[in-house]
Amino acid sequence: MSAWLDPVPWLILLPLIWATLAFILGPRRGGRLAMAGLAIQLGLAVYLATQMMATGPRVHSLGGWGAPLGIDLLADGLAVAMLLLTQIAALPLVIYARAYFSASSTASAPQWEGAPRRMVPSDQFWPLTGFLLAALNALFLSADLFNLYVTLELLTLAAVGLVALGGKPSQVVAALRYLLVSLAASGAYLMGVALIYGTYGTVSIAHLTPLIGTQPPPAIWLAGGLMMTGLLAKTALFPFHFWLPPAHGGAAAPVSALLSALVVKASFYLVLRLLLEPLAPMAEAVSWLLGLLGAAAILWGSWQALATRHLKRLVAWSTVAQLGYLFLIFPLLAPDGLALQAGVMQAVSHGLAKAAMFTAVGVLMLATGRDTLDGLAGVAGRLPLTIFALGLAGVTLMGLPPSGGFLAKWLLIDAALGQGQWPWLIIIIGGGLLTAAYVFQVLRQSFLTAPESTHFQPVPRSMEWTAFMLAAASVLLGLRGVEWIELLAVV
Amino acid sequence: MNALLRGCTVLACLGLGLGLAWSMLELPPAPIQMPGLVASHMDQSGVDHPVTAVLLNFRGYDTLLEVAVLLLALLGMLAAGTTPLHASSFKEAPMLTALARALTPIAVLVAGYLLWAGAFKPGGAFQAAAVLAGAAVLLRIAGLLPSWTTPADGLRLALAAGLLVFLGVAASGLALGGLLAYPPEWAGTLILLIETSLTVSLALILAGLFLAGPDSRPPEEQS
């Protein structure tokens, strides 16, 4: 097959091209370009998935050199599942973002003191989003430890830029804290890569896996420890979660959705990939620690979500908690693949549900002009579709059937029982109950009667519908679980 | 409490440093010898300097993404709308002005040489761009160059041109069987094309990190 038609390189090239063009077009321009680009990307990702199911994993040698001299891209089941999630979640989000930015600039947009004149939060949104998506696609497809570092840098800078978008002082503070944590984490990862390169002379994952074998020298343990610490800090796993609530809770709604749904999943994907392949000898030693940190994240994150009175903070803390579930899979990873399926199903369903939640909360905040739970009274009557979307996304996060979240938790429980590790059940079910508590807190508030004086801003219908579609997708995912599991079997 | 935290940080750093030193001493010789691999492919790379061959050909994809990283750094700054630290007005300094006027042509010459030298000895687009950006910073401090409030159409095109050319070359490589695949007889020319456009764009991006921001001079001096 001609390389022209290979979807693998185009999934990286396309977002890079439209991001650059959006930058050239100028501030606030490029929304249509982004929608067109993402529609093609979604088509390419689906095409790649069907092709791969038929013919197996695909390697694309950049420059035609091949590893270890050059860099290889690898599309296998795990990578393509993440690619699909990225394009499926991002397409509705860019449609939402266009409506969101035009609505929030015409409506009485909350202006802060000392805001630079003529600066609107949407100024650089499109190029930043394009580079963010290019970084995600490149990261999922990369099979080279150093190239992964470069994609992590691209991802970090795009995400930090998006958090700072608009330059509100609290946002710049959150963005800088995120930047510093992320840079330190990247540094730790890079140090690990340097140690591995010094030991084996290559950074290609396919070459490293057999070289590292089962009895690696101490340098590899140190390298693995550094890389894991860096990636966990980027994933915001408890106790590295402190940067996440201000960053995700303070950004514009479409940005929070992109960050919570996709960006933190990228570094989780890398932890998983490294522990499955080159660093497999370390997996046994660290899996319990990762599981326990995940359990702590579920309890602490849910508790904080329950305690906060701010809508967006609540959703951001819920991300901290839901990320914990991703790490429960590590003590349960076994050849039967149940835990791996549970992890990917959780990543995908949480990605869609969290995108739905942040978009729905964005609608509510535009309508009420407030960011507190108390401001929600009466919205159920005014914005029923949005409240329905919020409820559906909640169903996925709680893990009720038939949602994707239910499937993920069911697979996880299945894996835990199969291996006789039943204590994890308490965490899985307890976390679900806590999730139900904070979701119902929001829903209950929205059904209260509003005071007479309450004024609601009109909100574009397209924003409500995109939130609803994302939420519906996260629930319906449970019905298409078999296809995703078959996809994962392609290795 | 603070002192305790600092003490722990120092201890952790010390431990990491010792661990790194110890594991380095234990390192066996690497089973894959990259320098030999690069040397044996130099004749197909289109250039005579191994570093340039790795950066622009064998691992050109990393460099492509790094260029995007640099553009993104500037974008992030524009998105945050931060006022640069040097916003206080620069004082009139005749010596500085004279120095800037004298050094700028030399900087352009050095940048041109570095760009050209990249093909056969240490040098290349990144170094050349850094020298040019240095000249721009000097001109700005001397008050000979205004700062940018928001980059205009032409400037945005120039900022992104390097990445666009690189992307174009990368995509046309697909016709030959892979992203960034160069035909061996054209490799040298294509690399020079990429490096030249990168020099311009990277110089502007690096200068922009210093120049972007509100003009700090009094209104009557602004051009």
Q: For residue A218, which residues of chain B lie inside 8 Å, CB to CB?
A: 22-23, 26
What distance in Å separates residue B7's CA from the closest CA in chain A? 19
- Which pLDDT belongs to residue A5? 82
For the beta carbon of residue B6, count every other beta carbon within 10 angstroms. Answer: 10
> Per the CB < 8 Å rule, is B32 touching A175?
no
- Which pLDDT belongs to residue B148? 79
Q: What is the mean pLDDT of residues A133-146?
A: 97
CA distance B191 to B196: 9
Residue ranges in chain B assigned as alpha helix (H): 2-25, 34-41, 50-53, 60-80, 94-117, 125-141, 153-172, 187-211
- Min mean pLDDT across A88-92, A129-133, A300-304, A376-380 is at A376-380
A402 prior amide bond cis, ω within 30 = yes
- Which pLDDT belongs to residue A110? 46
- Which pLDDT belongs to residue B149? 74
> Per the CB < 8 Å rule, is B160 touching A222?
no
A221 within domain boundaries: no
- Which pLDDT belongs to residue A64? 86
CA distance B73 to B75: 5
ipTM: 0.92
> Per the CB < 8 Å rule, is A201 touching B159?
no
Q: What is the mean pLDDT of residues A144-168?
A: 94
A96 within domain boundaries: no
> Per the CB < 8 Å rule, is A20 touching B160?
yes
For the cut 70, the answer to whether the pLDDT of residue A107 exceeds it is no
Residue A70 CA from chain centroid, whole number: 29
Q: For residue B153, which residues of chain A lie inside 8 Å, CB to CB?
A: 26
Q: Domain of A365?
A: 279-491
- Which pLDDT belongs to residue A106? 61
Res. A58 pLDDT band, cuts 50 70 90: very high
Q: What is the mean pLDDT of residues A159-178?
A: 90
- Which pLDDT belongs to residue B82? 60
What distance in Å separates residue B81's CA from the closest CA in chain A? 6
For the cut 90, the answer to whether the pLDDT of residue B133 exceeds it is yes
What's the structural domain count of chain A?
1
Domain ranges for chain B, please list them: 47-221
Q: What is the mean pLDDT of residues B178-207?
A: 92
> Per the CB < 8 Å rule, is A167 touching B79?
yes
- Min mean pLDDT across A15-24, B139-148, B207-216 is at B207-216
Taking alpha carbons only, the member of A193, A73, A178 closest to residue B64 is A73
Q: What is the mean pLDDT of residues A474-484?
A: 91
A119 within domain boundaries: no
Res. A76 pLDDT band, cuts 50 70 90: very high
A215 within domain boundaries: no
DSSP A200-239: HS--BHHHHHHHH-SS--HHHHHHHHHHHHHHHHHHT-TT
Phi, psi values for residue A204, rounded to 5°: -80, 125
Q: What is the mean pLDDT of residues B100-126?
A: 93
A248 within domain boundaries: no
A381 within domain boundaries: yes
